Amino acid sequence: MRASRSLIEWFFFLSAALCGLLTLALFLLMFWFGLPLLGEGQTLQLFQGRWNPSQGQYSIYPMLVGSLSIALLAMLFSLPLSLGTSFLITTLAPKRLAGLLLDTIRLMSGIPTVIYGLVAVFLLVPIMRESLAKGNGMCILTAAMVLAILIAPTMIIFFVNALRSIPIHFILAADALGASRVDRLIHILLPQAWPGILTGILMGLGRALGDTMISLMLAGNALAMPQSVTDSARTLTAHIGLVIADDFESLEFRSIFACGMVLYIFTTIGAALARFLNQRLPTGS
Amino acid sequence: MKPGLEKTLISLCWLSGFVLLGAVIILVGYLAYRGIPTLNRHLLFGDTPPLDAMLMKQQVFDGLFPAIVGTLALLAIAIIIAVPIGVAAGIYMAEYGRGPVKKLFSLLFDILAAIPSIVIGLCGLTVILILHNRFEGRFAPCLILSALSLAFLVMPYLIRTTQMALESVPPAIRLTAPALGSSKLQNILLVLLPSCLPEITGGIILATGRCAEDTAVIMLTGAVTSAGIPRSFLDQYEALPFYIYYISAQYSGPAELASGFGAALILLVICGLLFTLSFWLRRRLTTSLLYR
């Protein structure tokens, strides 16, 4: 009895340790394979300049710009949308409607990404093609619009949790002083809930940066440096997705590990920041 | 605050709610409009008799049956691998982990939860390429590789749900068995785990849903457009999400496109059911950490 008991408890620990170690191993793996790109004074070249294999240039800078512009633009669309909706759910809408809205939004977060992509290819892309009058409708703007819808549920759920975890006596005090619902929102709820709201934004940004299918299907995947939001662009994630693994040793193949490393580093910073913010939350939400 | 400004703000909030709701309605409506007419026997089995296809007497060449079987096989293998490890790690985090070790693991799992799925796919691909080069072509992207990568991808969901479910067990239940003389392990296995079984099941179902929808991992680790039903763990396979992606990028005609929408509708129904069930089971856990 004694022996089997400690065996099971060892299994608990080893499982946790395995998951933790694999997470670290992931980074080491990418570092190891991305190393040839980093050596020989190529580090700088990797992050500036252009993608031009015929001249031996394998810079992932255009993809970095593509990723960041799509993610930030999506955030620009999605943040007001998500804030507005979470205010609607927490204060403005009648209770039943608010519940219905929240349930719908939860369900939204369960819709497969590839389905958003499929519908957008046949609904949004033709509209964009008509209205932009250049390119084939697949561009940064198209991807960002769909991504905005995709990341909204993640953010709204965090926002709603943050807004709801505010102690009731703050709200009652404000009401007693004659504050309107919008006063209450701006002067009580927002300042109190900011760590939760920032966490939500971080999570949304993380999802936007980490998403592969939307940008792969809707951003056009051009390798040139994007000049405007109506240009086609390739993201770091799409660049990995488009790899053709025939030549293991080529610098072209190695460049995807640089993409992976950049994404991993963004992820780690995001997770650490979210953790720091979470510790400042009033309740453990 | 000026009443005009306040009115504007309130209407903007309503507008944003309706924009999101409208987007979902358009999405689901369009999918239903394009997908429902395609739902028939031919969509699944093509020209093969369904019974022969299901008994694997004949391969299906122009239907979704292999893709559905591929997806189900993938889900089953990934979950069988992921659940014991994920739940065990969750138990460790809730009941045994203390101090800096727990903090470190917790941070690592947060990072793991946030790693883009394509990066995990890339690592799966790299591992198999290393094996391929070392053992002269005996290994290639395949079903078991995808399942392992997916299991790793959904591990944080399992760990976090288990941990939170255990941590939210009320002290009255938590302390009874030890007070009667049970050991810590007996308490965990016989009291705590059974008492939060619905939440843990909910976490497992959520993880299943995430496996079912993920496209980025499987496109790098072995999903292909035509492979038939996989005969072994080392076979390539077809999967619904990859098929949808492939169709949207390069469909060859209206018939193929229609089957793409049919596949999307089937996948949406599968994921919707899994997600709703999971949410219903986990409704006691009011945490935002599960919605990453």
Q: If you measure CA to CA, which chain A residue comes closest to B84?
A: A15
Q: How far is CA B234 from the centre of its chain?
A: 21
Cβ contact (<8 Å) for B17 and A85?
yes
The answer to whether the CB of B195 falls within 8 A of the CB of B174 is no
Cβ contact (<8 Å) for A11 and B88?
yes
Cross-strand pairs, A57: A52
Cβ contact (<8 Å) for A275 and B248?
no
Number of domains in chain A: 1
In this predicted structure, what is the pLDDT of residue B292? 39
What is the Cα–Cα distance from B6 to B2, expressed in whole angstroms? 6
Which of B107, B120, B133 is facing A248, going by the closest CB pair?
Answer: B133
A29-43, A118-132, B252-266: which has the minimum mean pLDDT? A29-43
Q: Is residue A191 part of a domain?
A: yes
Cβ contact (<8 Å) for A13 and B291?
no
In this predicted structure, what is the pLDDT of residue A40? 56
Q: Is residue A41 part of a domain?
A: no
Q: Is residue A145 part of a domain?
A: yes
Cβ contact (<8 Å) for B24 and A104?
yes
Q: Where does B135-196 have alpha helices with state H?
A: 143-167, 171-179, 184-186, 193-195
In this predicted structure, what is the pLDDT of residue A121? 92
Contact map slice: A 45-64 vs B, CB within 8 A: none
Q: Is the pLDDT of residue B124 over 50?
A: yes
The answer to whether the CB of B143 falls within 8 A of the CB of B73 is yes
Which of B93, B152, B261 is facing A22, going by the closest CB pair?
Answer: B152
**Hey, what domains does chain B have and what are their CATH numbers?**
65-291 (1.10.3720.10)
Q: Which pLDDT tens digit goes with each residue over B201-240? A: 989 999 999 999 899 999 888 888 877 788 888 888 889 9
Amino acid identity at B68: I
Q: Is residue A119 part of a domain?
A: yes
What is the Cα–Cα distance from A89 to B284, expressed in whole angstroms? 20
Q: Is the pLDDT of residue A284 over 50?
A: no
**In degrees to the nearest 10, what's the CA dihedral of B9, B12, B17, B19?**
-170
Q: Is residue A38 part of a domain?
A: no
Q: How confident is the model at residue A283 (pLDDT cuts 50, 70, 90)?
A: very low
The answer to whether the CB of B247 falls within 8 A of the CB of B260 is yes
SS3 content of chain A, % helix, strand, coil (to 5): 75, 0, 20
In this predicted structure, what is the pLDDT of residue A44? 58
Q: Is the pLDDT of residue A41 over 60?
A: no
Q: Is residue A128 part of a domain?
A: yes
One-character DSSP codes across B185-227: HHIIIIIIHHHTHHHHHHHHHHHHHHHHH--HHHHHHTB-S--
- Cα four-point dihedral sign A119, A123, A126, A128: negative
Cβ contact (<8 Å) for A105 and B260?
no
Q: If you measure CA to CA, which chain B residue comes closest to A81?
A: B16
User: Which residues of chain B make contact with A154, given a CB cutoff of 8 A?
Assistant: 291-292
Q: If you measure CA to CA, which chain B residue comes closest to A22?
A: B152
Q: Is residue A135 part of a domain?
A: yes
Q: Phi/psi class of residue B97: alpha, beta or left (left: φ > 0; alpha: ψ in -120 to 50)?
A: beta
Q: Is residue A99 part of a domain?
A: yes
Q: How confident is the model at residue A214 (pLDDT cuts 50, 70, 90)?
A: very high
Range of the domain at A80: 62-278
- The CATH code of the domain that includes A199 is 1.10.3720.10
Q: Encoding tokens for residue B16?
A: 């944003």
Cβ contact (<8 Å) for A101 and B17?
yes
The answer to whether the CB of B73 falls within 8 A of the CB of B237 is yes
ipTM higher than threshold 0.95: no
Q: B209 — contact with chain A (CB < 8 Å)?
A: yes
In this predicted structure, what is the pLDDT of residue B54? 72
